[in-house]
């Protein structure tokens, strides 16, 4: 194949209590076009002028992993990235970059690797699989590590479930947001999260949306991350008071996600989050997204 285009979805990880284990694909897509030609990486949209365009580029590194894995030299390639996923906002922009590179390289090579192998490669690059698994596979994925491999289980998503995103103007680095986490947790906090993660997956699987309010609560990572983003708790509260089903920090932040059913409450929930944030000096924009069953997939190459 000479030219290939793929789209990779945004993802929200953790969903509150499922730290490093749960993630869901959202219908905001980055598009990558790859063709044989002189080495060049161009970026349009989110991250334009900011993203590394050398061989250290994350998309290119993911492609190189696939070529290395099948022991083939990487050819000269021209990459065009059309990005819609905001960077460093907890919406899985790195996972989308990795997933798009993996799937495009695998496609160019005639698909020698299965999706499971791509999940392993992607998770090794990220260090955890809760963004990369849903970015590759779509839907909501529960990922566990067993005998050195990541194993992914799809969690059904109720049809009417929608996400309202408050995307702050400030970035949060995942590395920094992981450094502030305590090395150990109390048994009480562990029990708190185990119960809620189970309740959340049960609520999603059974379509019991009223389980999400308690099921999205967390004591493993959000309380510590509040030190970097003090307004977080007030924004969760504002979303819930405006009728959200549940609210949490998306991945390692800074986006705050509120779940709602259908579209009717989205505007009010977004407005409530934005107003509560502004009162505490945090500015940002609101966006609506739908969970998507689409993982990283090929699209007709137009560029």
Interface residue list for ligand HSE (CB under 6 A): 13-14, 19-20, 128, 130-131, 174, 177-178, 221, 251-252
* CB 221, min distance to ligand HSE, A: 6
In sign, the C-alpha dihedral spanning 14, 17, 19, 22 is negative
Report the alpha-carbon angle 288-88-199, nearest 5.
Answer: 60
How far apart are CB 38 and ligand HSE at their closest, in Å? Answer: 33
- 196 and 217 Cβ atoms separated by less than 8 Å: yes
Closer to ligand HSE by Cβ: residue 141 or 174: 174
CB of 94 to ligand HSE, least distance (A): 7
- Residue 46 CB, nearest distance to ligand HSE (Å)? 16
Q: How far is the CB of 273 from ligand HSE (least distance, A)?
A: 20
Q: Identify which of 45, 43, 53, 37 has the alpha carbon closest to the alpha carbon of residue 80.
A: 43
Q: How far is the CB of 148 from ligand HSE (least distance, A)?
A: 19
Nearer to ligand HSE, 128 or 219 (CB): 128
8 Cβ contact list (under 8 Å, min separation 6): 29, 30, 32, 95, 96, 97, 99, 100, 103, 135, 295, 296
**Nearer to ligand HSE by C-beta: 134 or 138?**
134
Query: Is 301 exposed, middle or buried, given 0-12, 13-18 or 19+ CB atoms closer than 10 A?
Result: middle
Q: Which is nearer to ligand HSE, 232 or 252 (by Cβ)?
A: 252
Q: Is 175 or 281 the residue whose CB approaches ligand HSE more closely?
A: 175
**170-185 exposure pattern, b = at least 16 Cβ within 10 A, e = fewer:** eebebeebeeeeeeeb
Cβ proximity to ligand HSE, 82 vs 225, nearer residue: 225
Q: Residue 250 or 274: which CB sits closer to ligand HSE?
A: 250
The Cα 5–Cα 153 span in angstroms is 27
The CB-of-110 to ligand HSE minimum distance in angstroms stands at: 31
**Spatial distance between the Cα atoms of 79 and 62, rounded to a whole number of angstroms:** 13
Backbone φ and ψ of 69, nearest 5°: -60, -35
């Amino acid at each position: 194949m000479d030219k290939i285009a793929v789209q990779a979805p945004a993802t929200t990880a953790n969903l509150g209590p499922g730290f490093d284990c749960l993630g869901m694909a959202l219908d905001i897509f980055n598009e990558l076009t790859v063709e044989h030609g002189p080495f060049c990486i161009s970026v349009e949209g989110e991250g334009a002028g900011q993203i590394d365009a050398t061989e250290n580029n994350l998309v290119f590194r993911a492609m190189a992993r696939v070529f290395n894995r099948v022991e083939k030299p990487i050819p000269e390639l021209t990459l065009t990235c059309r990005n819609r996923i905001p960077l460093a906002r907890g919406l899985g922009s790195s996972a989308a970059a990795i997933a798009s590179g993996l799937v495009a390289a695998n496609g160019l090579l005639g698909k020698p690797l299965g999706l499971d192998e791509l999940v392993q490669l992607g998770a090794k690059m990220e260090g955890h699989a809760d963004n990369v698994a849903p970015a590759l596979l779509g839907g909501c994925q529960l990922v566990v590590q067993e005998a050195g491999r990541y194993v992914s289980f799809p969690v059904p998503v109720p049809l009417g479930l929608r996400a309202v995103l408050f995307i702050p103007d400030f970035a949060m680095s995942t590395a920094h947001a992981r450094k502030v986490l305590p090395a150990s947790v109390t048994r009480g906090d562990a029990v708190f999260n185990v119960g809620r993660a189970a309740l959340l997956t049960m609520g999603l699987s059974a379509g019991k949306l009223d389980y999400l309010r308690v099921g999205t609560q967390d004591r493993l990572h959000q309380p510590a991350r509040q030190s970097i983003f003090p307004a977080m708790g007030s924004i969760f509260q504002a979303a819930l008071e405006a009728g959200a089903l549940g609210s949490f920090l998306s991945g390692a932040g800074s986006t705050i996600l509120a779940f709602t059913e259908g579209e009717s409450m989205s505007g009010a929930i977004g407005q409530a989050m934005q107003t509560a944030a502004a009162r505490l000096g945090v500015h940002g924009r609101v966006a609506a997204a739908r969970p998507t069953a689409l993982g990283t997939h090929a699209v007709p190459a137009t560029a």
